[in-house]
Amino acid sequence: MSNKKVLNFQTEVKQLLNLMIHSLYSNKDIFLRELISNASDAIDKLKFEQIKNPEINKNEELYIEIKFDKDAKTLTISDNGIGMSYDEVIENIGTIANSGTKKFLTQLSGDEKKDSNLIGQFGVGFYSAFIVAKSIELYTLKAGCENSEGVVWMSDGTGEFTIENVNKEQSGTMVVLHLKDDCEEFLSDWKLRSLVRTYSDHINYPIKMLKNITSEDSDKEVVSTELETVNQANALWVRSKNNITNDEYKEFYKHISHDFNEPLIWTHNKVEGTQEYTQLLYIPSKAPFDLYDSKRRYGVKLYIKRVFIMDDAEKLLPNYLRFIRGVIDSQDLPLNISREILQSSKDIDNIRTGSTKKVLSMLEDLVKKDSESYGVFYKEFGNVIKEGIIEDHANKDKIASLLRFISTNSDSDVPNVSLDQYIKQMKANQDKIYFITAESYNSAKNSPHLEVFKKNNIEVLLLIDKIDEWVVSHLNKYEEKELISVASSGLDLSKIINESEEDKSHKKELAKPIIEKIKKSLGDKVKDVQNTTRLINSPSCLLVEENAMSIHMEQILKQAGQPINGSKPILEVNMAHPLVKKLEDTLNEDEDVNISQILFDQATLLEGLKLENPSEFIDRMNKLICL
Ligand code: ADP
Ligand code: MG
């Protein structure tokens, strides 16, 4: 029966334990919340099992119990939930199943303050018990498995744990903490009750503690004890909004999200109609570290008639709202629903449409009521929301109105200009929304493409995130205004700038011979050479044809290893620049080629691209300088 093993913690667990014990010491209380949260999850899972197999632990009252022993200095948290098998204990409590753990650990800085913030996003879980315990015993028996044996897991949290079989009658899990000497404050009835009420009041199941019953006549003498429920033990989302305090909402958030930080905002509604369901949806104040990890955990939990069905029911919200945490509790879905059924359920589609609307209108409200918080939201999740432009056609305009951009109108690199605001600020006769895409703020801001815009005070949005290229390729118009890249060859600012047709054609004539020289010199390197409509100070820049893939987009795809046949660029040159003017009196073709090639290479560099032949470029430059 014994089957005793001594095993090592996974390396990452050791690292995590160390970090946790050191960085969260001033936050000791949280261990209780975490253990209660696990116990509650375990009861959720048992109830879910009972749907398929109603005989399991039939008629048993499901609850969590907390007790302590002052003499032995132990604190015990037990539940009669699902329990764990021998192998499950090893898997769940000794390794970290989360694929993002390694990534998380590489983000650590060694600065305790910063790291303890990070660890909050990571979710501290079971191991937080080692903040207060010098050693832990966990006894568990899996529910519903005939002849299964109990298991005891023991560790002092330094590097290894032992596991062996043990007699346990009652299925479920019991965690015994041997408290550190300086953590004896938790051996107090008053302290424990107040922690439960503060952090775990919202837990759906009773959390019980012993209560002394004193006899009527002698109020000193303890006659007996009985178990008493300390929390409200009622699903929070079922309660009426008016009876729930903000603190309760916040604690509930921490329980379901495994996030240490407070939520930014939430929305809580009962939806009635063809579908009846309750939604309680939160926006976190910090992005989780695994936001871009396809194996990320935690999302919106699905309950059906208050029975927990699954975590991260990804069909309940579109992918671009994957940062939302919360609960959706349906009255109508069948209890035996599976992930496969979820995929194709009309009812789920309905709930998704409704919940998406709710989240978007919650964000719209936030914009109006608390722009500072909206800034926080946008910093954390702006790039994820952008995916909605591509993913959610039906809500495209709404999502577009929620986007924020960096703009040439301010010196800040914080995106805070909306498309509506841009339109309001447009110049007389301007009917397009101008943007530039680039790989960094500096290269966008200093791009020669912006020269004519700056000179004429025309606002340009600076798009510097990778996803922006996809966003603008899906967002051609907003409020009837076309979005157009400043690097597009079709750029025509004549309506705004008021240049007469006469002036234009005069300039064109003057430029002709020079353009011809450059065209001849560059041959098929370029699609075309044209006189500039946008350069003021720089000699040259590269453009792409209207509707062609932008140079920046080509770059992104190339870096991602995608073979692409980019179209040839168009070279624009600025007749007012001395280098271009030089071409008026060049004496031979060699000189033409030299200058033309330099104009082309400089424009290439300014796009953030690499030169095919840098040494040739330097030779040409030197020739020019030394001449
Ligand atoms: P999380 O709760 O985020 O999954 P924890 O570190 O808190 O992470 O717990 C790790 C795992 O250990 C849980 O996912 C669960 O499988 C298991 N576990 C912890 N406590 C219990 C319990 N009381 N009953 C059953 N399983 C538990
Ligand atoms: Mg947990």
* CATH number of the domain within which 563 lies: 1.20.120.790
- Looking at the structure of the chain, the number of domains it has is 4
Q: Identify the CATH number of the domain in which residue 199 sits.
A: 3.30.565.10
- Give the residue, by CA position, lying nearest to ligand 1 atom 1: 125
Q: Which residues line ligand 1 (CB under 6 A)?
A: 34, 38-39, 41-42, 79, 81-84, 92-93, 123, 125-126, 173, 258
What count of other Cβ atoms lies within 10 Å of the Cβ of residue 445?
Answer: 18
Lowest mean pLDDT among 350-354, 372-376, 503-507, 557-561: 503-507
**For ligand 1, atom 13, which residue shows the shortest CA distance?**
92
DSSP-derived secondary structure for 200-242: STT-SS-EEEEEEEE-SS-SSSEEEEEEEE-S--S-GGGS-GG
pLDDT at 23: 73
Q: Are residues 487 and 515 in the same domain?
A: no
Lowest mean pLDDT among 63-72, 75-84, 292-301: 292-301
Which ligand is nearest to the Cα of residue 84, counting in written order?
1
**pLDDT value for 96:** 59
| Residue 623: partners with Cβ closer than 8 Å, 6 or more residues away | 594
Predicted confidence at residue 102, as pLDDT, reads 67
Distance from the alpha carbon of residue 128 to the mean position of ligand 2, in angstroms? 10
Q: pLDDT tier at 158 (50, 70, 90 boundaries)?
A: confident
Query: Of the candidates 343, 369, 395, which is a domain's last residue?
Result: 369
Domain identity same for 192 and 140: yes
pLDDT, tens digit, for every residue of 480-493? 999 999 998 888 88
Kindly report the number of other CB atoms within 10 A of residue 99's CB atom. Answer: 13
In this prediction, residue 142 has a pLDDT band, given cuts at 50, 70 and 90, of: very high
Confidence class for position 112, pLDDT limits 50, 70, 90: low
Question: How many beta carbons lie within 10 A of that of residue 154, not counting itself?
Answer: 17
Residue 12 has pLDDT above 80, yes or no: no
Give the ligand at the shortest distance from the Cα of 122. 1
**Which residue puts its alpha carbon closest to atom 11 of ligand 1?**
92
pLDDT tens profile 572-616: 999 999 999 999 888 888 899 999 999 999 999 988 888 989 999
Spatial contact of 34 and 124, defined as CB atoms under 8 Å apart = yes
Instruction: Please report, rounded to a whole number, the percentage of residues in the chain having pLDDT higher than 70.
Output: 93
The answer to whether residues 248 and 223 belong to one domain is no
Residues 216 and 246 in one domain: no
Ligand at minimal distance from the CA of 44 is 1
Nearest ligand 1 atom, CA 123: 3
Residues 242 and 351 in one domain: yes
The protein residue with its alpha carbon nearest to ligand 1, atom 7, reads 125
Q: What is the pLDDT of residue 192?
A: 97
**pLDDT at 59 (0 to 100):** 87
Among all ligands shown, which has an atom nearest to the Cα of 97?
Answer: 1
Domain housing 102: 5-230
- Up-side HSE of residue 324: CA atoms within 13 Å toward CB? 31
| Closest residue by Cα to residue 21 from 95, 122, 116, 101 | 116
For residues 358 and 274, give the distance between their C-alpha atoms in angstroms, rounded to a whole number.
17
Ligand 1 mutation target, pool 34, 36, 38, 101, most atoms within 8 A of CB: 38
CA-nearest residue for atom 5, ligand 1, is: 125
**Residue 556 and residue 612 in one domain:** yes
